[in-house]
Amino acid sequence: MKNYDVLVVGAGFAGATIARKRAEQGKKVLVVEKRAHIGGNMYECEGENGIRVHLYGPHIFHTNSERAFQFLKEFGEFFPYEHKVLGKIDGKLVPIPFNYTSLEMLFDKENAEKIKLKLKRNFPDVEKISILDLVKHNDVDIKEFGQYVYDKVFANYTAKQWGTTVDKIDTSVINRVPVVLGYDDRYFKDKFQYMPKEGFTKLFENILNHENIEVRLNMNVKDILKIDFEKKKTYINGEEFGGEIFYTGALDELMNYEYGNLPYRTLELKFENYPEEYYQENSVVNYPNEEEFTRITEFKYLTKQEDKEHTTILKEYPAQFDIHNPKYADPYYPINNDKNQEIYKKYQDKLASISNIKLCGRLAEYKYYNMDAVIDRALTLCE
Ligand SMILES: Cc1cc2nc3c(=O)[nH]c(=O)nc-3n(C[C@H](O)[C@H](O)[C@H](O)COP(=O)(O)OP(=O)(O)OC[C@H]3O[C@@H](n4cnc5c(N)ncnc54)[C@H](O)[C@@H]3O)c2cc1C
């Protein structure tokens, strides 16, 4: 490592942003990535039918962070994209989050008008409301409406997603499920909603394309990095390395699972190709109830790729993460509870004695981050 000032582990948004910033500051940066490609979970590639897909699940860029968007815009062009989601409820495809259109599609006219009137009276000038506020309301019609949305949109979906019954889900999660009091059917309300014209992978290629950055793929940092906790020193390929190390992988893996595994939920992703222009009427359709999968994504809506004869969809089956089974070995969603936070903190405290290692990103911080938040966090770390 004599030729490098900085080691970055992982070429997802956390690692790529840090590598770029340090390179621009004149540092020689080595990026080590254990997968065969850059981009982390944002990786986008062409399938055998020529359709571009997000290999680790659909990713939509949306942010209120001017700084994160400004950073990205330097590395590619973007087109405006406002994401919309439909959900299959009682055999109909209705807007999700549930809004007045969903209400009108699923309730008879008289009932729908009555509920809308009551919602308007009880929540004047409110754009969206938590489902819990409806379920707990003392007006019987509002309460029943809230319960309907809770049962049909939230309960089974969440149980599938987290592999548990809904009563075990933290109320903070339930609190975040909104009902929109109006006709706005956009899934996100952020100020900036765009997708990269040439796809996410091209964006990563551009971010990492700098004379001070070298990327090595198919390399697990565990094979080259040793941490000596007694001497409080780090070694790369046997030689002491005192430069900065930014680690964006899983913390339990780095620390040899000394305090146990950090649990995750994962996804089994099943791609299907069809010889037709479109498979469904929208980019994402949620299946909260009867089906085993949670949603179907059709990528052409996200990439705006034109092809009248081919399309590719993705069905997502939530599953238990299992490091020993390659089918389930991708950590997707941290399972955030007190017990797991305690394990995480033990790792974090032990690593704090090694002053040149910094943690950044969804795995290293054991935290669900949207991509803009990861970019923001990486930019802050580099300042
Ligand atoms: C299904 C799903 C959908 C999502 N959709 C959205 C969305 O629509 N919009 C949005 O903003 N966000 C979305 N996100 C979140 C988004 O994926 C993350 O914010 C982003 O990927 C985080 O980047 P990262 O660099 O922290 O992690 P990652 O992208 O996971 O990158 C970490 C990299 O480190 C590498 N690595 C790990 N360990 C090692 C090691 N030991 N040695 C070498 N390399 C290693 C990994 O291979 C990986 O490439 C979604 C997440 C999921 C799970």
- Ligand 1 centroid–CA 42 distance in Å is 6
Q: What is the pLDDT of residue 2?
A: 66
Map residue 125 onto helix, strand or coil.
coil
Task: Establish whether residue 221 lines the binding site of ligand 1, counting it when its CB lies within 6 angstroms of any ligand atom.
Answer: yes
Taking each continuous run of H as one helix and of E as one strand, the counts in the chain are: 13, 22
Task: Establish whether residue 37 lines the binding site of ligand 1, counting it when its CB lies within 6 angstroms of any ligand atom.
Answer: no
149-156 long-range CB contacts below 8 Å, 24 or more apart?
Answer: 149/98, 149/179, 152/89, 152/90, 152/288, 152/289, 153/87, 153/89, 153/96, 153/98, 153/177, 153/288, 154/288, 156/288, 156/289
Residues 44-53: pLDDT tens digits?
999 999 999 9
Q: What is the pLDDT of residue 1?
A: 67
Q: What is the mean pLDDT of residues 8-36?
A: 98
Q: Rounded to whole angstroms, how far apart are CA atoms 287 and 284?
A: 10
Looking at the structure, give the CATH architecture of the domain made up of residues 6-82+195-261+336-382.
Answer: 3-Layer(aba) Sandwich (3.40)
Q: What is the pLDDT of residue 174?
A: 75
Can you tell me which residue has the tokens 């780090």? 234
Q: What is the pLDDT of residue 165?
A: 82
Q: Rounded to whole angstroms, how far apart are CA atoms 75 and 209?
A: 10
* 35 DSSP assignment: S
Kindly give the interhelix angle for 371-382 and 66-73, rounded to the nearest 10 degrees: 90
Q: Ligand 1, from 226, 362, 376, 379: best to mutate by most atoms within 8 Å of Cβ?
A: 362
Q: What is the pLDDT of residue 151?
A: 94
**Total Cβ atoms within 10 A of residue 218:** 10
Higher pLDDT, 99 or 161: 99
Q: Is the pLDDT of residue 127 over 80?
A: yes
Write the DSSP assignment of 350-367 as a string of letters.
Answer: HHTT-TTEEE-STTTTTS
The answer for residues whose C-beta is within 8 angstroms of residue 352's C-beta and 6 or more apart is none
Q: Is the pLDDT of residue 175 over 80?
A: no
For the chain, the C-alpha Rg in angstroms (whole number) is 23
**Atom 21, ligand 1: residue with shortest CA distance:** 41
Residues 177-209: pLDDT tens digits?
799 999 999 999 999 999 999 999 999 999 999
Residues 21-32: pLDDT tens digits?
999 999 999 999
Contact 104, 150 (CB under 8 A): no
The answer for residues whose C-beta is within 8 angstroms of residue 55's C-beta and 6 or more apart is 43, 44, 45, 269
Angle, vertex CA 158, rays to CA 57 and CA 288, nearest 5: 75
**Total Cβ atoms within 10 A of residue 302:** 21
Type of residue at 89: I
- Ligand 1 centroid–CA 15 distance in Å is 10
Q: What is the mean pLDDT of residues 79-97?
A: 97
- Ligand 1 centroid–CA 140 distance in Å is 44
Q: What is the mean pLDDT of residues 358-382?
A: 97
Q: Ligand 1, from 371, 379, 380: best to mutate by most atoms within 8 Å of Cβ?
A: 371
Q: What is the mean pLDDT of residues 338-343?
A: 95
Task: Establish whether residue 331 lines the binding site of ligand 1, counting it when its CB lies within 6 angstroms of any ligand atom.
Answer: no
Q: What is the mean pLDDT of residues 76-99?
A: 98
Q: Rounded to whole angstroms, how far apart are CA atoms 216 and 213?
A: 10
Contact 247, 221 (CB under 8 A): yes
Q: Ligand 1, from 248, 256, 360: best to mutate by most atoms within 8 Å of Cβ?
A: 248
Q: Rounded to whole angstroms, how far apart are CA atoms 136 and 147?
A: 9
Q: What is the pLDDT of residue 31?
A: 98
Q: What is the pLDDT of residue 176?
A: 74
Task: Establish whether residue 288 lines the binding site of ligand 1, counting it when its CB lies within 6 angstroms of any ligand atom.
Answer: no
pLDDT above 70 coverage of the chain, percent: 99
Q: What is the pLDDT of residue 108?
A: 97
Q: Rounded to whole angstroms, how far apart are CA atoms 247 and 223?
A: 14
**Atom 53, ligand 1: residue with shortest CA distance:** 332
Task: Establish whether residue 97 lines the binding site of ligand 1, counting it when its CB lies within 6 angstroms of any ligand atom.
Answer: no
Can you tell me which residue has the tokens 């069809």? 274
Write the DSSP assignment of 256-322 as a string of letters.
Answer: TTTT-PPPEEEEEEEEEEESSS-SSSSSEEE--SSSSSSEEEETHHHH----SS-EEEEEEEEEE--
- Reported as half-sphere exposure (CB side, CA atoms, 13 A), residue 135 has a value of 15
Task: Establish whether residue 346 lines the binding site of ligand 1, counting it when its CB lies within 6 angstroms of any ligand atom.
Answer: no
For the chain, the straight-line distance linking the first and the last C-alpha, in angstroms and rounded, comes to: 24
Residues 196-250: pLDDT tens digits?
999 999 999 999 999 999 999 999 999 999 999 999 999 999 999 999 999 999 9
- Ligand 1 centroid–CA 89 distance in Å is 31
Q: What is the mean pLDDT of residues 359-382?
A: 97
Q: What is the pLDDT of residue 120?
A: 96
Q: Which two tokens stand for residue 140?
A: 């019987």
Q: Is the pLDDT of residue 330 over 80?
A: yes
Q: What is the pLDDT of residue 139?
A: 97
Q: What is the mean pLDDT of residues 81-97?
A: 97
Q: What is the mean pLDDT of residues 13-22?
A: 98
* 373 DSSP assignment: H
**Atom 18, ligand 1: residue with shortest CA distance:** 371
Q: Give span(s): CATH 3.40.50.720, the chain.
A: 6-82+195-261+336-382
Map residue 80 onto helix, strand or coil.
strand
Q: Rounded to whole angstroms, how far apart are CA atoms 102 and 308?
A: 30
Residues 243-277: pLDDT tens digits?
999 999 999 999 999 999 999 999 999 999 999 99
Q: Rounded to whole angstroms, how far apart are CA atoms 316 and 180?
A: 25
- Ligand 1 centroid–CA 109 distance in Å is 45
